[in-house]
């Protein structure tokens, strides 16, 4: 069995990513799989692993990664609502993780973390603003702000994270011009 871990800060982000940092993928032998879904020594590659993580973990509907939910992916509107709610929760948890990483970066990675968020901070804040105005989490169309795409609870929970990230991003020199709290 191969192993992969991620820095979770004790936060559950995805059915494939445990609070303790354990990554669950058939390619790693931490879940069942067939054929090329399993790690094959001398044949499988790190690229294959990264593509699997991108496709299976970093997708738009991680709620349906739960094995019991796969058959219901598109059948019931109620499950789509649960999926959206899950995405909203994960987005808030992601913002929490960003804050923790900024304040306590992994050893020897402080400059890298700050550089990353200097370059991506503006986009993160603009996405937060769009979500607070009703755009759907994860949408490619952040201009759709009808107030019905994200829940009121999510929008109200998002505001304190936005305020904190705005301060933190300004402190590291990210371009926050024109983005008001």
Catalytic residues: 24
Cβ–Cβ under 8 Å, residues 94 and 13: yes
Return d(Cα 49, Cα 54) in angstroms, integer.
Answer: 9
Which H helix or E strand runs over 70?
none
Q: Are 62 and 15 in contact (CB under 8 A)?
A: yes
Contact in structure between 29 and 2 (CB atoms under 8 Å): yes
Which residue, 72, 64, 67, 3, is CA-closest to 32?
Answer: 67
- Angle, helices 110-132 vs 152-171, to 10°: value is 140
Residues 134 and 148: their CA atoms lie apart, in Å, by 6
Q: What are phi and psi of 14, to 5 degrees?
A: -165, 150
For 154, residues 6+ apart whose C-beta sits below 8 A from its C-beta are 85, 88, 91, 92, 131, 137
């Amino acid at each position: 069995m191969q192993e992969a871990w991620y820095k979770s800060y004790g936060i559950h982000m995805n059915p494939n990513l445990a609070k303790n940092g354990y990554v669950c993928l058939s390619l790693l032998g931490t879940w069942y799989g067939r054929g090329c879904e399993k790690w094959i020594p001398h044949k499988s590659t790190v690229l294959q692993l990264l593509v699997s993580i991108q496709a299976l973990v970093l997708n738009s509907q991680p709620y349906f990664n739960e094995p019991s939910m796969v058959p219901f992916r598109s059948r019931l509107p109620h499950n789509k609502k649960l999926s959206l709610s899950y995405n909203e929760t994960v987005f808030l948890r992601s913002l929490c993780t960003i804050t923790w990483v900024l304040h306590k970066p992994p050893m020897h990675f402080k400059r890298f973390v700050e550089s990353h968020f200097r370059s991506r901070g503006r986009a993160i804040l603009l996405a937060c603003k769009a979500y607070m105005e009703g755009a759907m989490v994860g949408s490619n169309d952040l201009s759709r702000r009808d107030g019905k795409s994200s829940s009121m609870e999510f929008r109200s929970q998002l505001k304190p994270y936005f305020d904190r990230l705005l301060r933190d991003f300004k402190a590291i020199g990210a371009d926050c011009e024109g983005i008001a709290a």
